[in-house]
Amino acid sequence: MSESTMKTINVEYAIIGAGTSGLGAYSKISRKTDSLVMIQDGPYGTTCARVGCMPSKLLITASDYAHHLTTSDFFGVTSEGHVDGRKVLERLRRERDQRFVANNLRYVNKIPPHHKLEGHARFIGPGHLRVGESVEVKAEKIILACGSRPAVSKVFEPVMDRVLTSDTVFELEDLPSSIAVIGMGVIALELGQALHRLGVKTTVYGRSGKINALTHPDMQQEALDILGSELDIYPSGQVVSTWEDAEGAWIEFEQSNGQRVTKVFDRILVATGRISNVDQLGMEHTGAEFTEAGKVIFDPQTMLCSDYPIFIAGDAAEYLPVWHEAFDEGRIAADNALNYPDPVPVDRRPPLMVFFTDPQIAIIGQSFRELEGLEIVIGELPFSSPRHVVWNKVEGRIQVYLDARTGVILGAELLGYQAEHLAHLLALAITHSMTAEQVLMMPVYHPSAEELLRDVLIDAREKRRVYAAETMIHSNSVPAYS
Amino acid sequence: MSESTMKTINVEYAIIGAGTSGLGAYSKISRKTDSLVMIQDGPYGTTCARVGCMPSKLLITASDYAHHLTTSDFFGVTSEGHVDGRKVLERLRRERDQRFVANNLRYVNKIPPHHKLEGHARFIGPGHLRVGESVEVKAEKIILACGSRPAVSKVFEPVMDRVLTSDTVFELEDLPSSIAVIGMGVIALELGQALHRLGVKTTVYGRSGKINALTHPDMQQEALDILGSELDIYPSGQVVSTWEDAEGAWIEFEQSNGQRVTKVFDRILVATGRISNVDQLGMEHTGAEFTEAGKVIFDPQTMLCSDYPIFIAGDAAEYLPVWHEAFDEGRIAADNALNYPDPVPVDRRPPLMVFFTDPQIAIIGQSFRELEGLEIVIGELPFSSPRHVVWNKVEGRIQVYLDARTGVILGAELLGYQAEHLAHLLALAITHSMTAEQVLMMPVYHPSAEELLRDVLIDAREKRRVYAAETMIHSNSVPAYS
């Protein structure tokens, strides 16, 4: 194509990506100026709606119903049934497309056409983008909201025909007969357990031996024990080779103890994390600075990349790749693009992560790993409040970390049924630096899951008393002549 | 029996009743003095464990599993099954007795025998009780923690053989074939819906036409519409006569429009509320003061009855008859008995009530009825967050009441799936007089039920803005010459 057919668009703001963070940025900037363009590569619809939060939760809800069939006898309700994989997936796609994706597209469709540009964007110079083959965009300020893609190791190349990622698994016509799940992060464990409960013969292959959302060793071990009692898990090691034959895709896995196991699967779900699409933008042409690992350096309180008028947001930033953070980051990036060159640092919310496994995994605020060695006390209880007993869901544990001096709640790690709600309650407390005593002033209904939170805070309060007494004893034991 | 065989016990403290509030009071007082006695009429074990919170939630869990069988097809999971009524009730009693009642009895068994006295207590003079026929107790300070009993109208006398209350329903060998539920309070709706879902042909008879836990007319109506779409409900009227024949117990009900309906049932569950057992204590011998309705007058911040050294706690007080309030009241009464004659008023927690129906009903803080006419704005949304859509549970509504001037959250009424958790989050906010803005600073995970709370607070914030603008216009419109 000759230069003469190249169209150049000059705008104040360019947003690369129309996902959660890009749209968040767009909603802020479009209220202030018409001089902006949002560039989308591929179909509209967010990662959350298309391949992330929503389809995974739709699958989990179906798997809950399948699981009820195996647990209802305990309550005096005899039941049997079967999972119709095609119906499960059809309903998942129907609800995903007609509700969540459609909602998103309705919003996108309201955006004026001159604000939208389709094609793959890459930098050809600072503030200078090429989009597709025939359009160039010159923008004073650019927001990178280009999202992420699943990482797939080269070891799976021989079996790519049978490899799925979260981008493709929800497009299956029917459930596979068997599946290998590679990874022990949120996507791996949520989908692995859901598929297992829907009748798919499932094996999970981990790497580190740990469920890393949790950072306290006891919590990691308990999570592994509970999930391992239901699922076939090889928690530590690596896939050393794969091949395909008429039986399916073979995986040779070397465990950390050196033992190798070789199994064959109908499908392989690679869920070993997502990587930012920023590497596909030609960032080397911008003058931005990079970490040794090749990641763009940015300030999470302004989302500004170095001193350049480039901002980053959402999964592209690989900072806290969850929806509410992506939404926040899009807006922080937009505010600071609007304020440039005077960015206003924003206090980020306390980190909150939930795994929608059964039992759930949730972490809020500072983790045990971050607090280890500091003056903290740990309130700790098994997940067995009267309400959990009634539900027959008494697996797991809650840990709440208090500042030993002030009693302020710093963080918590949770493993248990409906842990998400206790995590949100703690999130409000942590956001406002509340003490355990302050939370204990609230009413707590009986029987409710929240009683567990009350009881673990009472436990932490007792431990603080012991800690205070011991610290006092220590002070008193200083020799009188000192 | 002659006076000579009468044994008299002189103590500083007497507690009448060994339920939740009585034991709460006992735990406080017994740490300070050995001069106390706790008098129990009938078997030990709290209302909560034996006939209240725990057995009702055990029944509801079984009914949830029965309900899953009718709702799983939507998710692609075909299921069928049947409810084994005997097994449902056996499991309920087994868990109730072996866990909740047993836990309570273990605690009671550790109490020294000289602190326990069994028999019916009634006053024969101020500070002077007779217990059974052969014991008298003279106590300086007395705590009335004698609980409550189900109220049963005389209209049911002809069919008493088939009448159940919450005291007796859990003792059934098998589920009845049909049941009339009298009342629309928490016990009526929780048990009525659970029995219906377990396959019992159920009809609910209300009185006022309203579900009175909710006070906003729209919320009352919506609750009635939703529950009425599943259950056979006659919401307003009264039972005018009953009789029994070979077919069962007949109920003639006159609706508020004058129409009479007559139906026959296997059983009748009278759930029209509980009345305090204080009327069985001979309070007229104490000099205590009474309301016109014959209820003992007391201060809810000290639980002191008039100026007499008599305190009241728990269901006996008929103030907020739920477990956490009973527990609090037992301890407030004990603290103030210990401090007598210098009672220390305690700030009560914000009121919190949950109906474990589906959808749930929850109220927290000040109700719409209490706030009506004051300067408030109402954040309001249907119960249809993305998470609720995923669950296919989109019925109901949430209302949050903000002080229009300050933005402080004053109260909320909720009708929706898992409303209890949002009510607890609001409970923490209301306990600390937080504004909507302050709650909106917390992280909220996607997708979670808590997103609904975020969105309704955003709605309330917008309405506050409109209110502020309108109030401003109003101020500006004051004529210049005024």
A43, two tokens: 């179909």
Residue A482: the pLDDT is 38
Residue A391: list chain B partners with CB under 8 A.
61
B251, two tokens: 């109920």
Coil/strand/helix, residue B238: strand
- Which of B198, B428, B437 should we substitute to test contact with A (largest number of A Cβ atoms within 10 Å)? B428
The answer, for B186 touching chain A at a CB cutoff of 8 Å, is no
Query: What residues pair up with B345 in beta bridges, in sequence order?
Result: none
pLDDT of B429 above 50: yes
Q: Do B72 and A90 touch (CB under 8 A)?
A: no
Edge-to-edge strands, sheet with A376-382: A352-355, A360-365, A409-416, A397-403, A376-382
**Residues B199 and B193 sit within 8 Å (Cβ to Cβ):** no
Q: What is the pLDDT along chain A (482 residues), one digit of tens a residue?
A: 455 689 999 999 999 999 999 999 999 999 999 999 999 999 999 999 999 999 999 999 999 999 999 999 999 999 999 999 999 999 999 999 999 999 999 999 999 999 999 999 999 999 999 999 999 999 999 999 999 999 999 999 999 999 999 999 999 999 999 999 999 999 999 999 999 999 999 999 999 999 999 999 999 999 999 999 999 999 999 999 999 999 999 999 999 999 999 999 999 999 999 999 999 999 999 989 999 999 999 999 999 997 789 999 999 999 989 999 999 999 999 999 999 999 899 999 999 999 999 999 999 999 999 999 999 999 999 999 999 999 999 999 999 999 999 999 999 999 999 999 999 999 999 999 999 999 999 999 999 999 999 999 999 999 999 999 988 766 555 444 43
- Distance (Å, whole) CA B227 – CA B189: 9
CA B156-B160-B165 angle, 5° bins: 85
Q: What was the ipTM of the complex prediction? A: 0.96
**Residues B334 and B24 sit within 8 Å (Cβ to Cβ):** yes
CATH number among 3.30.365.10, 3.40.190.10, 3.50.50.60, 3.40.50.11260, domain B3-149+275-339: 3.50.50.60
The answer, for B195 touching chain A at a CB cutoff of 8 Å, is no
The answer, for B228 touching chain A at a CB cutoff of 8 Å, is no
| A-contacting residues in B 404-433 (Cβ below 8 Å) | 418, 420-421, 423-425, 427-429, 431-432
Cis peptide before A300 (omega within 30 of 0): no
- Distance (Å, whole) CA B270 – CA B57: 18
b/e B237-257 (16+ beta carbons within 10 angstroms → b) = bebeebeeeeebbbbebbbee
Q: Do B390 and A68 touch (CB under 8 A)?
A: no
Count other Cβ atoms within 10 Å, centred on residue A48. 25
User: CA of B359 to nearest chain A CA: how many angstroms apart?
Assistant: 16
Q: Do A391 and B82 touch (CB under 8 A)?
A: no
Q: Do A447 and B54 touch (CB under 8 A)?
A: yes
Coil/strand/helix, residue A302: coil
The answer, for A440 touching chain B at a CB cutoff of 8 Å, is no
Question: Yes or no: is domain A352-474 CATH 3.30.390.30?
Answer: yes
Residue A474: the pLDDT is 62
- Distance (Å, whole) CA B170 – CA B198: 14
Residue A323: list chain B partners with CB under 8 A.
445-447
For the domain made up of B352-469, give the CATH fold. Answer: Enolase-like; domain 1 (3.30.390)
Q: For chain B, which residues make up each domain, given as ranges?
A: 3-149+275-339, 154-272, 352-469
The label of the residue with tokens 């001069």 reads: B35
Amino acid at B231: L
CA distances from A45 to A108, A133, B480 (A): 8, 23, 55
Distance of CA A377 to the CA centre of its chain: 28
CA distances from A288 to A127, A142, A310, B194 (A): 11, 12, 8, 62
What integer is the mean pLDDT of B237-249?
98
pLDDT (tens digit per residue) in B369-414: 999 999 999 999 999 999 999 999 999 999 999 999 999 999 999 9
**Residues A185 and A212 sit within 8 Å (Cβ to Cβ):** yes
The answer, for B332 touching chain A at a CB cutoff of 8 Å, is no
Angle between helices B217-230 and B186-197 (to 10 degrees): 30
Residue B479: the pLDDT is 47
Q: Do A445 and B424 touch (CB under 8 A)?
A: yes
B144, two tokens: 């009335």
- Distance (Å, whole) CA A233 – CA A394: 22
The answer, for B173 touching chain A at a CB cutoff of 8 Å, is no
DSSP annotation of A262 reads E
What integer is the mean pLDDT of B323-345?
95
Phi and psi for A471 in degrees, rounded to 5?
A: -65, -40
User: CA of B87 to nearest chain A CA: how many angstroms apart?
Assistant: 5
Query: What residues pair up with B174 in beta bridges, in sequence order?
Result: none
The label of the residue with tokens 């009506």 reads: B372
Report the candidate in B284, B285, B286, B278 with the shortest Cα–Cα distance to residue B307: B286
Residue B61: list chain A partners with CB under 8 A.
75, 390-392
User: CA of B14 to nearest chain A CA: how many angstroms apart?
Assistant: 27
- Distance (Å, whole) CA B321 – CA B48: 11
What integer is the mean pLDDT of B331-345?
95
Q: Do B350 and A443 touch (CB under 8 A)?
A: yes
pLDDT of B298 above 50: yes
Q: Do A445 and B324 touch (CB under 8 A)?
A: yes
Report the candidate in A305, A338, A260 with the shortest Cα–Cα distance to residue A146: A305
- Distance (Å, whole) CA B50 – CA B18: 13
The answer, for B350 touching chain A at a CB cutoff of 8 Å, is yes
User: CA of A4 to nearest chain B CA: how many angstroms apart?
Assistant: 47
**Residues A323 and A53 sit within 8 Å (Cβ to Cβ):** yes
User: CA of B131 to nearest chain A CA: how many angstroms apart?
Assistant: 32
Out of B81, B324, B448, the one facing A72 most closely (by C-beta) is B81
**Residues A206 and A184 sit within 8 Å (Cβ to Cβ):** yes
B107, two tokens: 């605690």
Report the candidate in B244, B264, B243, B263 with the shortest Cα–Cα distance to residue B254: B263
Nearest CA in chain A to B445: A324
What is the per-residue DSSP string for A400-412?
EEEETTT-BEEEE
Q: Do A450 and B65 touch (CB under 8 A)?
A: no
Q: Do B88 and A68 touch (CB under 8 A)?
A: no
- Distance (Å, whole) CA A94 – CA A133: 35
Residue B91: list chain A partners with CB under 8 A.
74-76
Residue B446: list chain A partners with CB under 8 A.
48, 53, 322-324, 327
The answer, for A389 touching chain B at a CB cutoff of 8 Å, is yes
Residue B478: the pLDDT is 47
Phi and psi for B301 in degrees, rounded to 5?
A: -90, -15
User: CA of B51 to nearest chain A CA: how many angstroms apart?
Assistant: 14
Residue B482: the pLDDT is 38
Q: Do A76 and B86 touch (CB under 8 A)?
A: yes
Beta strands in B197-337 (DSSP E): 201-205, 232-234, 237-245, 248-255, 260-265, 267-270, 274-276, 310-312
**Residues B380 and B459 sit within 8 Å (Cβ to Cβ):** yes
The answer, for A90 touching chain B at a CB cutoff of 8 Å, is yes
A154, two tokens: 């080269």
Residue A479: the pLDDT is 47
State the CATH class of domain A154-272.
alpha beta
- Distance (Å, whole) CA A221 – CA A209: 9
Report the candidate in B207, B206, B197, B203 with the shortest Cα–Cα distance to residue B180: B203
For the CA atoms of A419, A425, A427, A428, the dihedral, rounded to the nearest 10 degrees, stands at 170
Residue A349: list chain B partners with CB under 8 A.
441-443
- Which of A58, A59, A74, A75 should we substitute to test contact with B (largest number of B Cβ atoms within 10 Å)? A75
Residue B53: list chain A partners with CB under 8 A.
386, 446-447
Residue A472: the pLDDT is 74
The label of the residue with tokens 């006022």 reads: B208
Nearest CA in chain A to B327: A446
Q: How confident is the model at residue B307 (pLDDT cuts 50, 70, 90)?
A: confident
Out of B77, B354, B364, the one facing A83 most closely (by C-beta) is B77
B410, two tokens: 């004053």
b/e B410-427 (16+ beta carbons within 10 angstroms → b) = bbbbbbbbbbbbbbbbbb
For the domain made up of A6-150+275-339, give the CATH fold. Answer: FAD/NAD(P)-binding domain (3.50.50)
pLDDT (tens digit per residue) in B3-36: 568 999 999 999 999 999 999 999 999 999 999 9
Out of A95, A324, A429, the one facing B445 most closely (by C-beta) is A324
The answer, for A324 touching chain B at a CB cutoff of 8 Å, is yes
Nearest CA in chain B to A91: B75
- Distance (Å, whole) CA B196 – CA B206: 16
**Residues B316 and B147 sit within 8 Å (Cβ to Cβ):** yes
Nearest CA in chain B to A90: B76
Count other Cβ atoms within 10 Å, centred on residue B260. 11
pLDDT (tens digit per residue) in B80-103: 999 999 999 999 999 999 999 999
**Residues A88 and A42 sit within 8 Å (Cβ to Cβ):** no
**Residues A448 and A387 sit within 8 Å (Cβ to Cβ):** yes
Residue A5: the pLDDT is 85
The answer, for B95 touching chain A at a CB cutoff of 8 Å, is yes
For the CA atoms of B124, B125, B128, B134, the dihedral, rounded to the nearest 10 degrees, stands at -20
Residue A392: list chain B partners with CB under 8 A.
61
- Distance (Å, whole) CA A123 – CA A2: 19
- Distance (Å, whole) CA A184 – CA A155: 18
Say whether A352-474 and A6-150+275-339 share the same fold.
Answer: no
Query: What residues pair up with B128 in beta bridges, in sequence order?
Result: B125, B138
User: What radius of gyration do chain A's Cα atoms show?
Assistant: 25
Out of A53, A88, A386, the one facing B75 most closely (by C-beta) is A88
- Distance (Å, whole) CA B181 – CA B187: 10
